[in-house]
C-alpha cells in the first residue's frame, strides 16, 4: 500500500474523497500471476476497473483483455491502435476476448468489422451472430460449480455440460469456427475445488467433441475468480496456482492454449480510498461518523460486489466500535455498523485499502455528490 504520509499529502493537495491508484502494485500483481502460472495468458477483466490508465499499464506489461461491452472494447483498442496497421487486425485475437455470452444485435454489428473472439452459451446467440457478426470466432462458455464464491455467476451464464457438444455442432453448422471452451467459477473464489471440478468438466467436453469429429478446438479460458487477499482467511495465490498447474498439465496437452480472466486479482490491492469526516453524532450510545464518500460512490462494491471494505484512521488512539455512513440522505448509504476507530473529529481523514476492484467502477452520481477524484501514482 502507498505510505500513509504520501496518502495524506495527496489528500491535502487534491482534496477528498480521493481514489489513489498504485501502478507499481498493478504491475506487481500481473507479474505475480505470470510467475505462478507461466502457461496461462492473463486477459484482464476490464469491468473490474476500466480506468484507461490501468488498462495501459497492463497492456504495456504484456496483458491481454477480457471485455464485456463495446465501450470496454474501445478502451483496449486505443492501445492496439498504436500498432502498425499490417499487424493490428491479427493482434485483436491475441489481446481481446469479448467474454459476455449475451450480446445485443447492435453490439454484434459494431464488433463484426474487428473479427472478434466472442463467447456464447445458447442457440439464440448463434442465430444473432450469424446475422450480425458472421466474422466472429467463437468460444463456448460452459456451466461449472460456483460453490462458496462471493459472486455467483453460473445461474446467469453457461451452457449445461450435456448440451456443450451439440452447441459446438450448431455453431459449426452456422459457419463459425469454435475455438474452444470457457468457464467461470464465480468471483472471489476461495473454494479452490470449483476450479478442479471445472477443469475436469472441460476436459470431458474436449474429449467428447473430438470423438464426434470436432478436433480443431485449441483454446481453454479458465475465467476469473482468483481471490484478492482481503483478509488472512484467503489462501495465498501460490496455493491455487500449484493446483491449477498440476490439473492443467494433467488434463490438457501442450497444444491447448490456456487463458484466464483475472480482474479483481490485478487491481483490488492497487487502490486506496481517502475520505474525510464531515459529520459526527452519537446514536443509541454509539459514535456515528459521516464521511464524504459512500455506498453510492466508491463503496458501491458493498452492494454490488458483496464486499465489505474496512476503514482505518490516520490518527492514533484507543479504538471503539462505531458506525460509518456515507454523505447521501439515503439510509442505505451505510458503510459499516461495526468499525473500530479512535475518537474522530470533523475533518479527520480515514482510508480504506484494497478497494481497487468493483468500487469506483460502479459508482454513481446519486444525490448530486461527486465521485472520488482519481490520482495515479508510479512509485
What pLDDT score does 89 carry? 57
Cα distances (Å, whole numbers) of residue 130 to 107, 127, 133, 134, 353: 13, 5, 6, 5, 46
> How many other β-carbons are positioned within 10 Å of the β-carbon of residue 145?
20
Per the listing, cell 498439465 goes with 249
Which whole number is the average pLDDT over 64-86?
85
Between 42-46, 216-220, 278-282, 298-302, the lowest mean confidence (pLDDT) is in 216-220
Hey, which CATH number is domain 23-267, 3.80.30.20, 3.40.50.300, 3.20.20.10, 3.40.50.1820?
3.20.20.10
pLDDT value of position 201: 97
Q: The whole model's pTM is what?
A: 0.95
Candidate list 132, 288, 307, 329, residue with the active-site label: 329
Query: Would the pLDDT of 42 be above 60?
Result: yes
User: What's the pLDDT score for residue 82?
Assistant: 74
Task: Tell whether the model's pLDDT for residue 87 goes beyond 70.
Answer: no
Query: 154-193 in b/e burial notation, b at 16+ Cβ within 10 A?
Result: beebbbebebbbebbebbbeeebebbbbbbbbbbbbbbbe
pLDDT at 13: 97
pLDDT tens digit string along 147-166? 878 887 788 899 999 999 99
The answer to whether domain 4-19+269-377 and domain 23-267 are alike in fold is no
* CATH architecture of the domain with residue range 4-19+269-377: Beta Barrel (2.40)
Would you state the pLDDT for residue 154? 81
Q: Place 189 in a pLDDT band, splitting at 50, 70 and 90.
A: confident
Query: pLDDT digit string (tens) for 260-315?
Result: 999 999 999 999 999 999 999 999 999 999 999 999 999 999 999 999 999 999 99
The helix (run of H) or strand (run of E) holding residue 42 is strand 40-45
The residue that leads in pLDDT, 251 or 216, is 251
Q: Which pLDDT score is estimated for 26?
A: 98
Cα torsion angle, 227, 230, 231, 236, sign = positive
pLDDT digits (tens, 9 = 90+) for 113-148: 999 999 999 999 999 999 999 999 999 999 998 887
Map out the domains of the chain as residue ranges. 4-19+269-377, 23-267
- In the residue annotation, 322 being an active-site residue is answered as no
Tell me what the mean pLDDT of segment 168-192 comes to: 93
Amino acid at each position: 500500500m502507498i505510505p500513509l504520509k504520501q496518502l495524506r499529502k495527496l489528500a491535502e493537495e487534491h482534496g477528498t474523497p480521493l481514489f489513489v491508484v498504485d501502478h507499481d502494485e498493478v504491475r506487481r500483481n500481473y507479474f505475480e500471476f505470470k510467475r505462478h502460472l507461466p502457461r496461462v495468458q492473463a486477459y484482464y477483466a476490464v469491468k473490474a476497473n476500466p480506468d484507461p490508465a490501468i488498462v495501459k499499464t497492463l497492456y504495456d506489461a504484456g496483458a491481454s483483455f477480457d471485455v464485456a461491452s463495446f465501450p470496454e472494447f474501445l478502451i483496449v483498442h486505443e492501445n492496439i491502435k498504436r500498432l502498425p496497421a499490417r499487424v493490428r487486425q491479427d493482434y485483436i485475437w491475441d489481446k481481446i476476448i469479448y467474454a459476455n455470452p449475451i450480446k445485443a444485435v447492435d453490439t454484434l454489428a459494431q464488433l463484426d468489422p474487428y473479427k472478434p473472439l466472442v463467447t456464447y452459451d445458447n442457440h439464440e446467440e448463434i442465430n444473432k451472430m450469424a446475422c450480425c457478426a458472421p466474422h466472429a470466432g467463437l468460444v463456448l462458455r460452459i456451466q461449472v460449480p460456483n460453490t462458496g464464491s462471493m459472486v455467483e455467476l453460473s445461474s446467469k451464464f453457461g451452457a449445461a455440460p450435456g448440451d456443450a457438444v451439440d452447441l459446438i455442432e450448431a455453431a459449426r453448422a452456422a459457419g463459425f469456427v469454435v475455438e474452444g471452451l470457457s468457464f467461470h467459477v464465480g468471483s472471489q473464489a476461495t473454494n479452490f475445488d470449483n476450479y478442479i471440478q471445472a477443469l475436469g468438466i472441460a476436459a470431458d467436453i474436449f474429449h467428447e467433441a473430438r470423438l464426434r469429429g470436432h478436433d480443431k478446438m485449441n483454446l481453454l479460458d479458465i475465467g476469473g475468480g482468483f481471490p484478492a487477499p482481503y483478509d488472512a482467511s484467503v489462501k495465498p495465490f501460490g496455493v491455487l496456482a500449484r493446483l491449477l498447474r498440476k490439473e492443467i498439465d494433467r488434463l490438457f496437452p501442450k497444444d491447448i492454449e490456456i487463458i484466464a480472466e483475472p480482474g479483481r486479482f490485478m487491481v483490488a490491492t492497487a487502490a486506496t480510498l481517502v475520505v474525510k469526516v464531515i459529520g459526527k453524532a452519537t446514536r443509541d450510545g454509539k459514535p456515528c461518523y459521516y464521511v464524504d464518500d459512500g455506498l453510492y460512490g466508491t463503496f458501491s462494491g458493498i452492494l454490488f460486489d458483496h464486499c465489505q471494505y474496512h476503514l482505518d484512521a490516520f490518527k492514533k488512539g484507543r479504538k471503539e466500535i462505531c458506525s460509518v455512513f456515507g454523505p447521501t440522505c439515503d439510509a442505505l448509504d451505510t458503510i459499516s455498523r461495526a468499525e473500530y476507530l479512535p475518537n474522530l473529529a470533523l475533518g479527520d481523514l480515514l482510508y480504506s485499502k484494497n478497494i481497487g476492484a468493483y468500487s469506483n467502477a460502479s459508482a454513481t452520481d446519486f444525490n448530486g455528490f461527486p465521485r472520488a477524484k482519481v490520482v495515479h501514482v508510479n512509485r
